[in-house]
C-alpha cells in the first residue's frame, strides 16, 4: 500500500521538523505514479520523506499525472516555509516526523480508520512545541520570539504546548460539527454526521464513524459506531496508559449516559446508565428479560455482546445487566449538517 503526500511545514533553527501540513494525501498509488516520481527524486523503495525545492516541484508537476498531487505541488511552489514529499511503501512504524504527520492526516481525511495504521513509537518522533497564531514554535526558541513580538507592541498567543495540534488547523472533514476545535486532535476520525459538543474530546487514532453525538471523551484507539450517543462527561478507556491493551469499540445505536463510561467493548443497542462506569472487573448481576437472576459475572465476560442495559440497583447498589428493550435513536435534526 503506497501512501503519498506533498506538504508544507515548519522546522526549527536546527533544521528539525516540527510539523507538516498535507492538503491532499493519497493512498493506494499505482506503480506508474511511483515510477514517475522516482525519475525525479531517485526513489528506490521504502518509506521516505524528501525535502523539496522549487526546481524539484516544477519537475514533479510536469512529470506526474495524479491530479491531486499535481494541484498541491502547484499550490505550495514558492513557499518560504520548508516543503516535503513523503512516500510510504509499507505500513511499518514511522521513522520521521513527516511520516507521523502523514499517518495522522490519513486518519483525519478518513482514508484509514483508527487502528488500521501502524503508529508505534510515534511519541518519540513528535516534538513538544508551542502552538501559536503563527504556527508551531520550538520551545527553546519561544522566549526570543515572545520578546520580539512584545517589542513590536503585540502579544504572541500560545494556545497549547503539546505534541499534537488540533485537527481543524489541518483537516476539516465534510458533514461534521465541532463546537470546540481544540478538543479534537489531528489523527481523529470523524465520520459524516458526527457532532462533537463543547465538552466532547476525540484523541488521535480514535473516532466516531457517524452519525454520532459526542459529548464525552473518545480515548486513543476507541471506535464509536453509527447512531451511538456518548453523553456529557462520559468516557471510554483507551490503550495509552495503565497497561490497557483491550481495544474498545462501542457498537451501533448505543447510549453511554452522562458521567458514565466503559472499559469493555460493547455490541449494538447497549445502554449504560448515568454515572455508572463499567470496568472489566466490575461484578455484574445478570438478569434475563423478565428480570430473573441468571448469574453473577465479571463485566469482561459480557464484552462485545449486544442488547445490554447496565444499571446500578438503587436499593442494593449492585450493578445489574438486563436485556435492553429499546435502542436509543439520535435526533436526526442534530446531524443534518448540509
pLDDT tens-digit readout, 311-326: 999 999 999 999 876 5
Q: What is the CATH number of the domain that holds 245?
A: 2.160.10.10
C-alpha cell at 5: 503526500
The distance from CA 161 to its chain's CA centroid, rounded to whole angstroms, is: 18
Q: Are residues 135 and 204 in the same domain?
A: no
pLDDT score at 325: 61
Is there a contact between 24 and 69 (Cβ–Cβ < 8 Å)? yes
* Look-up of cell digits 447496565: 310
Give the three-state DSSP class for 169: helix
Number of H helices, E strands in the chain: 5, 27
Residue 308 within any structural domain of the chain: no
Q: How confident is the model at residue 240 (pLDDT cuts 50, 70, 90)?
A: low
Average pLDDT over the chain, rounded to an integer: 93
Give the three-state DSSP class for 121: coil
Q: Are residues 111 and 213 in the same domain?
A: no
CA distance 205 to 236: 14
Given its phi and psi angles, is residue 15 left (phi above 0), alpha (psi -120 to 50 degrees) or beta? left
pTM of the predicted model as reported, rounded to 2 decimal places: 0.93
CA distance 56 to 58: 5
Q: Are residues 153 and 181 in the same domain?
A: no
Residue 75 within any structural domain of the chain: yes
Q: What is the CATH number of the domain that holds 48?
A: 3.30.70.2010
Is there a contact between 202 and 176 (Cβ–Cβ < 8 Å)? no
What is the share, in percent, of the chain residues with pLDDT greater than 70? 93
Looking at the 3D structure of the chain, how many domains does it have?
3
Q: What is the largest CA-CA distance in the chain?
A: 76
Residue 207 within any structural domain of the chain: yes
Catalytic residues: 215
CA distance 134 to 152: 15
pLDDT score at 338: 47
CA distance 187 to 220: 10
Does the pLDDT value for residue 305 go beyond 50? yes
pLDDT score at 337: 52
Domain that holds residue 154: 129-162
Q: How confident is the model at residue 243 (pLDDT cuts 50, 70, 90)?
A: very low
Amino acid at each position: 500500500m503506497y501512501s503519498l503526500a506533498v506538504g508544507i511545514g515548519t522546522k526549527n533553527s536546527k533544521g528539525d521538523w516540527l510539523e507538516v501540513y498535507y492538503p491532499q494525501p493519497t493512498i493506494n498509488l499505482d506503480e506508474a505514479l511511483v515510477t514517475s516520481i522516482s525519475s525525479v527524486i531517485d526513489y528506490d523503495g521504502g518509506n521516505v520523506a524528501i525535502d523539496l525545492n522549487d526546481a524539484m516541484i516544477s519537475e514533479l508537476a510536469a512529470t506526474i499525472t495524479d491530479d491531486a498531487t499535481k494541484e498541491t505541488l502547484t499550490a505550495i511552489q514558492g513557499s518560504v516555509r520548508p516543503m516535503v514529499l513523503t512516500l510510504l511503501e509499507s505500513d511499518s512504524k514511522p521513522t520521521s516526523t513527516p511520516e507521523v504527520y502523514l499517518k495522522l492526516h490519513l486518519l483525519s481525511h478518513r482514508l484509514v480508520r483508527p487502528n488500521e495504521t501502524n503508529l508505534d513509537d510515534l511519541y518519540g518522533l513528535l516534538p513538544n512545541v508551542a502552538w501559536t497564531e503563527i504556527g508551531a514554535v520550538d520551545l527553546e526558541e519561544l522566549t526570543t520570539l515572545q520578546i520580539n513580538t512584545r517589542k513590536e507592541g503585540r502579544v504572541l498567543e500560545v494556545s497549547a504546548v503539546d505534541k499534537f495540534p488540533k485537527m481543524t488547523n489541518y483537516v476539516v472533514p465534510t458533514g461534521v460539527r465541532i463546537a470546540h476545535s481544540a478538543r479534537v486532535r489531528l489523527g481523529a476520525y470523524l465520520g459524516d454526521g458526527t457532532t462533537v459538543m463543547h465538552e466532547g474530546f476525540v484523541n488521535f487514532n480514535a473516532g466516531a464513524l457517524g452519525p454520532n453525538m459526542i459529548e464525552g471523551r473518545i480515548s486513543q484507539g476507541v471506535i464509536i459506531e453509527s447512531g451511538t450517543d456518548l453523553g456529557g462527561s462520559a468516557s471510554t478507556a483507551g490503550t495509552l496508559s495503565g497497561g490497557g491493551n483491550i481495544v474498545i469499540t462501542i457498537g451501533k445505536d448505543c447510549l453511554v449516559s452522562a458521567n458514565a463510561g466503559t472499559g469493555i467493548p460493547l455490541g449494538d443497542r447497549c445502554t449504560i446508565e448515568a454515572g455508572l462506569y463499567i470496568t472489566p472487573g466490575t461484578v455484574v448481576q445478570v438478569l434475563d428479560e423478565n428480570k430473573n437472576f441468571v448469574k453473577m459475572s465479571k463485566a469482561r465476560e459480557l464484552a462485545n455482546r449486544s442488547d445490554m442495559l447496565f444499571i446500578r440497583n438503587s436499593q442494593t447498589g449492585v450493578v445489574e445487566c438486563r436485556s435492553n428493550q429499546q435502542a436509543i435513536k439520535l435526533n436526526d435534526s442534530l446531524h443534518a449538517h448540509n
